Amino acid sequence: MIWFFSFSAARTQDLMSESGKAPNSDENSSGSSKIIPVKTVSAEHINILVKKSFESDFVNAADVEWLKWGKFDQADFEMNGHALKAYYDTNGDLVGTTQDKTFADLPVKGQNEILNKYGDYKIGLVSLYTDNPSTVSDLLGSDQVTDEDLYFVELIKGKDRIVVQVTPFGEVSLITQIS
């Protein structure tokens, strides 16, 4: 099970699980989730097809760090002053990218809905997921993605943390409760 963006201290989430459970997690008998660590790997342990695709897709990438997320390879890197993450499947195809954003980057309709519906929550990390529609692999699960860019927003109230999805049209939907 995987996420696509990183959250909190170790930026605990990255890649949405296909089952809709908390990202990068296993569910225990009480129904709560625990975080499964991500494996940082050296470039030598990355599929040659993935490395070649990445080098072609992101010619000016700097400070590249590779991670393994189940069946996906994740490249964390800097490009043109922005921190990005790119996700590749085992065929070397780019599945999608994420980039940290701010609440102000969300469509105004989405901002308003979040403030109205979740006004007692603190805004956490905001991430933009850009799907690669030409790839068969689906990072978020086929029922989650419609080949459009999606924002994901972490909302925090005390020990409770939730993640909502915001479409480019400002439609907001609850994705998961993390805590």
Question: Does residue 13 lie within any of the structural domains?
Answer: no
The pLDDT of residue 6 is 41
Q: Each residue of 19-69: pLDDT tens digit? A: 333 334 344 433 333 343 456 667 777 889 999 999 999 999 999 999 987
- Say if residues 61 and 78 touch (Cβ distance below 8 Å): yes
Question: Does residue 79 lie within any of the structural domains?
Answer: yes
Q: What is the CATH number of the domain that holds 88?
A: 3.10.450.360
Domain count, the chain: 1
Q: What percent of the chain has pLDDT over 70?
A: 70
Question: Does residue 15 lie within any of the structural domains?
Answer: no
Q: Does the pLDDT value for residue 70 go beyond 70?
A: yes
- Say if residues 103 and 170 touch (Cβ distance below 8 Å): no
Q: Does the pLDDT value for residue 91 go beyond 70?
A: yes
The pLDDT of residue 38 is 55
Closest CA to 36 of 78, 3, 80: 3
Where in the sequence is the domain holding 96, given as residue range(s)? Answer: 25-177
The pLDDT of residue 140 is 57
Question: Does residue 110 lie within any of the structural domains?
Answer: yes
Non-local (6+) Cβ contacts of 68 within 8 A are: 38, 39, 41, 45, 74
Q: Does the pLDDT value for residue 177 go beyond 90?
A: no
Q: Each residue of 142-165: pLDDT tens digit? A: 444 455 789 999 999 999 999 999
Whole-model pTM? 0.72
pLDDT band at 174 (very low <50, low <70, confident <90, very high): confident
Question: Does residue 14 lie within any of the structural domains?
Answer: no
Question: Does residue 136 lie within any of the structural domains?
Answer: yes
Non-local (6+) Cβ contacts of 54 within 8 A are: 61, 64, 75, 86, 88, 94
Question: Does residue 85 lie within any of the structural domains?
Answer: yes
Q: Each residue of 104-130: pLDDT tens digit? A: 999 999 999 999 999 999 999 999 998
The pLDDT of residue 66 is 93
What is residue 39's three-state secondary structure? strand
Question: Does residue 132 lie within any of the structural domains?
Answer: yes
